[in-house]
């Protein structure tokens, strides 16, 4: 599907991690797959631009949070849901925060999740 074009048209899209959309519950993998698939589409039809990491992250957080009200953003009045990522075991250094997030989406897994917060409460990993 031409995700970037639909976003440009103002159509709200979200990335989910239920089994109905794939065989992996990781939202990070969903972000990576969205970017990968849009790049493949772009290779075969250059009229469709590829989705960027910030766009895919938005679809996985803020945009998806619209369906559940007051989740998906770090704003007043929103529930605090977050992951604390420890990427110290991943190769490379000197990356920007966006590059570190992208590296986690492609290479990381649950071993890189140091803490989880759901509805402002720390959930033990």
Residue 10, both tokens:
């103002």
Q: How far is CA 64 from CA 56, 95, 116, in A?
A: 11, 27, 18
Contacts of 120 (CB under 8 A, 6+ apart): 79, 80
- Whether the full predicted model's pTM is greater than 0.85, yes or no, is no
What pLDDT is recorded for position 27? 86
How many alpha carbons lie under 13 Å from residue 9 in its C-beta half-sphere?
A: 9
Domain residues for the domain of 75 are: 3-123
Contacts of 88 (CB under 8 A, 6+ apart): none
Query: CATH no. for residue 74?
Result: 2.30.40
pLDDT tens, position by position, for the chain (125 residues)? 788 888 889 888 888 776 665 667 788 998 999 999 999 988 898 888 899 999 999 998 888 787 778 888 888 888 888 899 999 999 888 999 999 999 999 999 999 999 999 888 888 86
Q: How many domains, in total, are found in the chain? A: 1
Nearest-CA neighbor of 56 among 2, 3, 116, 1? 3
Q: How far is CA 20 from CA 14, 17, 25, 76, in A?
A: 14, 8, 10, 32
What pLDDT is recorded for position 113? 93
């Amino acid at each position: 599907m031409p995700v970037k074009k639909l976003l440009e048209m103002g159509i709200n899209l979200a990335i989910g991690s239920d089994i109905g959309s794939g065989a992996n519950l990781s939202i990070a993998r969903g972000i990576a797959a969205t970017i990968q698939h849009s790049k493949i589409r772009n290779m075969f039809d250059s009229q469709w631009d590829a989705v960027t990491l910030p766009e895919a992250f938005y679809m996985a957080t803020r945009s998806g949070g619209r369906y559940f009200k007051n989740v998906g953003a770090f704003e007043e009045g929103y529930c605090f849901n977050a992951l604390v990522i420890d990427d110290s075991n991943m190769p490379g250094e000197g990356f920007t925060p966006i590059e570190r997030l992208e590296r986690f989406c492609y290479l990381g897994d649950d071993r890189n999740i140091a803490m989880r917060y759901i509805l402002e409460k720390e959930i033990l990993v």
